[in-house]
Amino acid sequence: MLESEYLTAIYAFNYFGPARVKLLLSYFKSAKKIWKSSEKELIETGLSEKKVSEFVRFRNEFDIENYFSRLKKLDIKMVTILDKVFPKNLKGLDGAPLVLYYKGIIKCLKTNCVAIVGTRKTTAYGSEVTQKFSSELANFGVTIISGLAYGIDTTAHKGCLSVGGKTAEHHGLEPFGPISSVSL
């Protein structure tokens, strides 16, 4: 198994976000070593016994081959911070995701991007302003990033797509964890 696949499997454990995985990587020096580590070694990193137990249970039940097979069947691609094609503009951010799942073309995340997020219960004025901002930014070649929630997030995507712009949404897709998908 590749190092990026180990990293993806570790990242699929919901408790391990970017900061925690980076700390584990600095301690173990590789994702494979994290995945293969003993309970004792994991506890030595400062993780609670409860979380270590949950991770070990997750690891024992996690079917890596099936996971990647299901991603492929759903046409979901992934890229990790270890890969050359991982967007450079994300690498330097605190709390940046270590794994991106996507559909479409990841290249649009290498351009100028603006995140537009907001309330699910929007006003007419909020929707109008969001539509205007997202469509005008998209006309300048800016990729619009938002969640996939109703309200402002959806309006941002629709505004962008109404002028043929590029959008990326970040949302949860069980059982795959955080998904970033790219639409053209």
Q: How far is CA 2 from CA 6, 8, 124, 154, in A?
A: 7, 10, 49, 36
In a domain, 97, yes or no: no
Residue 70 phi, psi (nearest 5): -65, -40
User: Is the domain of 108 the same as that of 75?
Assistant: no
- Please tell me whether residues 7 and 75 are part of one structural domain: yes
Q: Give the model confidence (pLDDT) of 9-60 as tens digits.
A: 998 898 888 889 999 999 999 999 999 999 999 999 999 999 999 999 999 9
- Is 179 within a domain? yes
pTM: 0.69
pLDDT at 148: 64
Q: Which of 80, 95, 114 is the last residue of a domain?
A: 80
| Claim to verify: residue 71 and residue 108 sit in the same structural domain | no
Distance CA 113, CA 137 (A): 9
> pLDDT band at residue 177, thresholds of 50, 70 and 90?
very low
β-bridge mates for residue 145, sequence order: 115, 168
pLDDT score for 183? 41
My answer on whether 31 and 73 are in the same domain is yes
- Cα–Cα nearest to 89, from 147, 81, 153, 183: 81
pLDDT given at position 15: 86
146 within some domain: yes
Q: Say yes or no: 47 and 112 in one domain.
A: no
Candidate from 6-10, 66-70, 96-100, 147-151 with smallest mean pLDDT: 147-151
Residues 74 and 137 occupy one common structural domain: no
Whether the CB-CB separation of 7 and 98 falls below 8 Å is answered with: yes
CATH number of the domain bearing residue 132? 3.40.50.450
Residue 64 has pLDDT above 70, yes or no: yes
- The pLDDT of residue 108: 65
Query: Which residue range forms the structural domain that includes residue 8?
Result: 3-80
Number of domains in the chain: 2
Q: What is the mean pLDDT of residues 67-82?
A: 88
Residues 178 and 145 in one domain: yes
Question: Is residue 38 in a domain?
Answer: yes
User: What would the mean pLDDT of 99-114 be, rounded to a whole number?
Assistant: 74
Buried b (16+ CB within 10 A) or exposed e, 134-151: bbebbeeebbbbbbeeeb
Instruction: Classify residue 96: in a domain, yes or no.
Output: no
**CA gap 147, 55 in Å, rounded:** 28
pLDDT at site 135: 94
Model confidence at 69, pLDDT cuts 50, 70, 90, reads very high
Whether 65 and 107 map to the same domain: the answer is no
Averaged over 89-106, what is the pLDDT? Answer: 77
Residues 6+ apart with CB under 8 A from 75: 103
68 in a domain, yes or no? Answer: yes
98 belongs to a structural domain:
no
pLDDT in tens, 135-158: 999 999 888 877 667 788 888 888
